[in-house]
């Protein structure tokens, strides 16, 4: 019935009087009608009755942004609010798999009891900060992912690679500074042999 209505509409609009043109008119009209019916179905299936929020994960490289994104989809998939995406599915570009880092912002969607979320997993590597800024331009909020924090007074072991050669001895105290601000103090407990790459970078 819909196809017949479409043919009549075309005949009327084009003022076609010859029955010989009926077949070509049907071809012209049938495809848009089919497309319109699919669009109507799509609107029914994907209609959202919850507020929409754009969020993202940001933070330093290798701190777990993509792992957290995958974990969120897994937990919500069990509750029926998302399709589970593995880590490998989120970082799916060949160059990302080869280097093991996020280069381009990736997108996943999920729903909770109160909201629908569009989640952007942003790159954290210094070389791709431009991609991160582009990915966060439309965000309503961010999740800052930090692998671990050293709080004032906490004792922790750090392995530091020096940017230039220095004379150090075991037991020597040192201070870490960021500009004019002291961000930490420590004690040298072990001195590791330098690699050829470190020596090359110093040159």
CATH number, domain of 106, equals: 3.40.50.300
How high is the mean pLDDT of the chain? 69
Nearest C-alpha neighbor of 131 from the set 120, 141, 146: 120
> Mean pLDDT across the stretch 180-197?
77
Catalytic residue among 62, 63, 107, 116: 62
Assess whether pLDDT exceeds 80 at residue 85: yes
Cα–Cα distance measured from residue 142 to residue 92, given in angstroms and rounded to the nearest whole number: 22
Cα–Cα distance measured from residue 18 to residue 9, given in angstroms and rounded to the nearest whole number: 15
pLDDT score for 2:
43
Q: Are residues 72 and 35 in the same domain?
A: no
Q: Are residues 110 and 168 in the same domain?
A: no
Catalytic residue among 57, 66, 69, 120: 66
Task: Please indicate whether residue 192 or residue 16 has the higher confidence score (pLDDT).
Answer: 192
The pair phi, psi for residue 167, each rounded to 5°, is -90, 120
Q: Are residues 107 and 164 in the same domain?
A: no
Assess whether pLDDT exceeds 70 at residue 36: no
Please state the pTM of the whole predicted model.
0.47
Assess whether pLDDT exceeds 50 at residue 15: no
Q: Are residues 76 and 8 in the same domain?
A: no
Q: Are residues 134 and 86 in the same domain?
A: yes
Highest average pLDDT, of 74-78, 136-140, 180-184, comes from: 74-78
Residue that is written with structure tokens 């407990």 in the block: 189
Q: Are residues 59 and 132 in the same domain?
A: yes
Query: Is 50 among the residues known to form the active site?
Result: no
Catalytic residue among 65, 69, 85, 91: 65
Query: Is 125 among the residues known to form the active site?
Result: yes
Count of domains forming the chain: 3
pLDDT score for 177:
78
Query: Is 161 among the residues known to form the active site?
Result: no
Task: Give me the domain span that covers residue 39.
Answer: 2-46
pLDDT digits (tens, 9 = 90+) for 41-56: 445 455 568 899 999 8
Q: Are residues 62 and 110 in the same domain?
A: yes
Q: Are residues 110 and 65 in the same domain?
A: yes
Q: Are residues 140 and 59 in the same domain?
A: yes
Q: Are residues 26 and 91 in the same domain?
A: no
With pLDDT > 90 as the criterion, what percentage of the chain qualifies?
1
pLDDT score for 127:
59
pLDDT score for 175:
82
pLDDT digits (tens, 9 = 90+) for 140-186: 888 888 877 666 666 677 777 777 777 888 888 888 777 777 777 78
Query: Is 154 among the residues known to form the active site?
Result: no
CATH number at residue 162: 2.40.30.10
Cα–Cα distance measured from residue 192 to residue 110, given in angstroms and rounded to the nearest whole number: 47
Catalytic residue among 60, 63, 116, 125: 125
Q: At what angle do helices 2-14 and 22-46 cross, to 10 degrees?
A: 120
């Amino acid at each position: 019935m819909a196809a017949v209505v479409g043919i009549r509409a075309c005949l009327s609009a084009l003022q076609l009087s010859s029955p010989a043109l009926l077949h070509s008119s049907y071809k012209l009209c049938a495809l848009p009608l089919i497309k319109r019916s699919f669009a109507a179905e799509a609107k029914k299936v994907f209609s959202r009755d919850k507020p929409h929020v754009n969020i993202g994960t940001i933070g330093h490289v290798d701190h777990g942004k993509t792992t957290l994104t995958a974990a969120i989809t897994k937990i919500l998939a069990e509750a029926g609010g998302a399709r589970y995406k593995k880590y490998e599915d989120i970082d799916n570009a060949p160059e990302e798999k080869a280097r093991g880092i996020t280069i381009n912002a990736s997108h996943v969607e999920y729903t909770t009891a109160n909201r629908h979320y569009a989640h952007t997993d942003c790159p954290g590597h210094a070389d791709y900060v431009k991609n991160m800024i582009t990915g966060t331009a439309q965000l309503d909020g961010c999740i800052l992912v930090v692998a671990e924090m050293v709080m004032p007074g906490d004792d922790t072991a750090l392995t530091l690679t020096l940017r230039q050669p220095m004379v150090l001895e075991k037991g020597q105290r040192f201070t870490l500074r960021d500009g004019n601000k002291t961000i930490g103090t420590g004690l040298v407990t072990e001195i590791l042999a330098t690699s050829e790459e470190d020596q090359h970078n110093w040159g």
